[in-house]
Structure 1
Amino acid sequence: MARQTPLTCSGHTRPVVDLSFSDNTKDGYFMISACKDGNPMLRQGETGDWVGTFIGHKGAVWAASLNKACSRAATGSADFNAKIWCALSGNVLHSFQHDHIVRAVDFSHDGNRLLTGCQEKKVRIFDLQSEGSKPKVYQGHNGTVKRCLWLDQNIFLTISDDKSFKKWDTRAGEEPVQSVQLEKSATDLVLHEKTQVATMSYSNMVSFWNPHEMTMIKEFSTKTQVNSAHLHPNSEHFVFGGADFKIYKCDYKTGSVEDSYKGHFGPVHIVRFSPDGELYASGSEDGTIRLWQNNVGTNYGLWRCVNTGD
């Protein structure tokens, strides 16, 4: 069995709680990290090389996202603010005050609107092209909004501590159009790049959903608390991480574990595939980000891959 030593990206001083990749650009793809140290960082996605740190939040940063072109970054913080940054200069372009901790952010597909989820149980949409305009506010959750994701230009998805998974349509008013009650509070929600599958984690489960119909496709149980999971762009396998410090790679059809790696020294809070599927990144309680090669049979020169014969 091949074993690998991941690339370790240091620099943060507290737990890393969110990661997001840009799309492929002419300069490659990039990755942003959210950390409780309050200083989100931008890195080159293939190598993990540090590009810059966004300075300006006064509390833990819980969420971070890049637009597709990696020209803008969005962050959400315990200082009750969501910020839009220029990813080239690091300057703050907009700062949006909330009434509580901002736990989730997501750019619309065209990059012109920002979606935020808050600990005060509300979701907001900010028009980034209309300076000073009031956000649209959506209510319907009874707990902290943990993730909010655009499905298309009009529809978005949310999960919350109230054990619900909801779909909203901006053309249909301020109430959710569909809601699914879960057995446990979801810890993570992420869309497959083609938006045909949503990957959700909760308790010791990883589940896959049709986000358009809000129906479950399949789910698999694990032996550990799962904090985050993500499906490979080719839908061949998925990865997850959680309470036992390990990263697991599993077959999407069967859920069987293909490999597992231990590199972190604390629970894994977030895992995400790169847009090309060549690697996946993990962020942990130990304050590090680690980049894992997806196909360990190929030695890219950046990773140390060893065939142990196990």
Structure 2
Amino acid sequence: MKPLMLQGHERAITQIKYNREGDLIFSAAKDSKPSVWFSLNGERLGTYNGHQGVVWCVDVDWTTTRLITGSGDMSTKLWDVETGSVLGSIPCTSSTRTANFSYSGNQASYSTDKAMGNNCELFIIDVRNIDSSISNQSPVLKLTMNQQTKITSMLWGALDETVITGHDNGSIRIWDLRAVKELNSVNDHTSVINDMQMSHDGTMFVSASKDATAKLFDSESLMCLKTYKTERPVNSAAISPILEHVALGGGQEAMEVTTTSTKAGKFDSRFFHLVYEEEFARVKGHFGPINSLAFHPDGRSYATGGEDGFVRVQEFDASYYEFVFE
């Protein structure tokens, strides 16, 4: 099972996303050039030039016509996927840490960092009639977080009525966008939440945290259902769309990597059973921590983006589907 190695970024990968059909992979990295690749053969389709700094987040809409990116150059940009042109650029007061399209694709959300005297803020924008004047349009909704926390990951809830945010203090909150209020919050994690990803049907989501655990939550009540424990920080976690499996990616902190061997760093993708919380497989590959992980929408392969600047696409062997948890 030889993986596809997608080499095109000069610096660490920050996030990867599949489109709905799974034929394209979008990658963001610290080299300021988000890219798009064919997932079948790993060929690079194009690069989106326009950012001046690290690109922290990337998301593509339901129809694969628009892309949103958030960057350390204090801007959020919307792109035409096909032509690579910038549809609109929104200036921000600090780095944009998260950006997501809603399920319908009519709205998008992004959040800015707590920096330079500015509090962390969450914005909801309407992207239907987008043009170059979007930088002057006021957002549909703006939520300011309190002094202590900043948003580090974000998901849209059911029917585009709620937004779920993960914070640097380990808390997860759900916001009602119509009533503009916090509905619920939980503090099951003890450290930064690096990533959150929904299940295929949207009823659950998995969170990955620096406290060396990933947890499965109910997406409405925020009740913690399962916990998957490792010995290293977890940077990304995803739920298989076809099997009861959870994949975790992470590893030792990037700044400590030079002092250990690749074995000790635990840079493997790790597979846990969704229900039994037991680890049953590991896949080696990256020379450095895995920063982002995503399942293909058909569940037959998955992709990882690492601190080493590579995106690896790994197809599953036949034995993976035959495996039965005793």
- For normalisation by structure 2, the TM-score amounts to 0.85
Q: How does 1:126-141 map to 2 (within 5 A)?
A: 126-130=125-129, 131=134, 132-135=136-139, 136-141=141-146
SS in 2 for 1:176: strand
Query: Which range moves more in the overlay, 208-217 or 137-146?
Result: 137-146
Which of the two has greater strand per residue? Answer: 1
SS in 1 for 2:297: coil
CA shift, 1:115, in A, is 0.4
- For residue 252 of structure 1, the aligned residue among 252, 274, 279 is 274
Query: Which range moves more in the overlay, 187-196 or 123-132?
Result: 123-132
Q: Are residues 1:239 and 2:261 paired?
A: no
CA shift, 1:242, in A, is 0.9
Query: Which range moves more in the overlay, 176-185 or 160-169?
Result: 176-185
Query: Which range moves more in the overlay, 111-120 or 49-58?
Result: 111-120
Q: Are residues 1:207 and 2:215 paired?
A: yes
Quote the residue 1:63 is aligned against. 57
Alignment length (residue pairs) = 291
Query: Which range moves more in the overlay, 94-103 or 137-146?
Result: 137-146
CA distance in structure 2 between the partners assigned to 1:80 and 1:169 by the alignment: 26
CA distance in structure 1 between the partners assigned to 2:62 and 2:38 by the alignment: 14
Greater relative contact order (CA < 8 Å, ≥ 6 in sequence): 1
CA distance in structure 1 between the partners assigned to 2:151 and 2:243 by the alignment: 27
CA distance in structure 2 between the partners assigned to 1:163 and 1:257 by the alignment: 23
- For residue 178 of structure 1, the aligned residue among 171, 184, 205 is 184
Q: Are residues 1:287 and 2:309 paired?
A: yes
Q: Are residues 1:221 and 2:229 paired?
A: yes
Identical counterparts, % of pairs: 27
Quote the residue 2:91 is aligned against. 97
Query: Does the CA contact (< 8 Å) of 2:152 and 2:192 recur in 1?
Result: no
Which of the two has greater helix per residue? Answer: 2
Query: Does the CA contact (< 8 Å) of 2:226 and 2:275 recur in 1?
Result: no
CA distance in structure 2 between the partners assigned to 1:36 and 1:140 by the alignment: 26
SS in 1 for 2:104: coil
Unaligned runs of 5+ in 1: 299-310
Q: Are residues 1:45 and 2:39 paired?
A: yes
CA distance in structure 1 between the partners assigned to 2:307 and 2:50 by the alignment: 22
CA shift, 1:296, in A, is 5.1
- For residue 262 of structure 1, the aligned residue among 280, 284, 288 is 284
Query: Does the CA contact (< 8 Å) of 1:119 and 1:143 recur in 2?
Result: no
Q: How does 1:265-276 map to 2 (within 5 A)?
A: 265-276=287-298
Q: Are residues 1:146 and 2:152 paired?
A: yes
Q: For residue 86 of structure 1, what is the amino acid of its counterpart?
A: D
Q: Are residues 1:7 and 2:4 paired?
A: yes
Unaligned runs of 5+ in 2: 115-119, 252-265, 321-326
SS in 2 for 1:55: coil
**Cα root mean square deviation, aligned:** 1.5
Residue by residue over 1:127-161, the C-alpha shift from the partner in whole angstroms, topping out at 9 and shown as x without a partner, is 11355420121123532311121113211111111
- For normalisation by structure 1, the TM-score amounts to 0.90
Quote the residue 2:173 is aligned against. 166
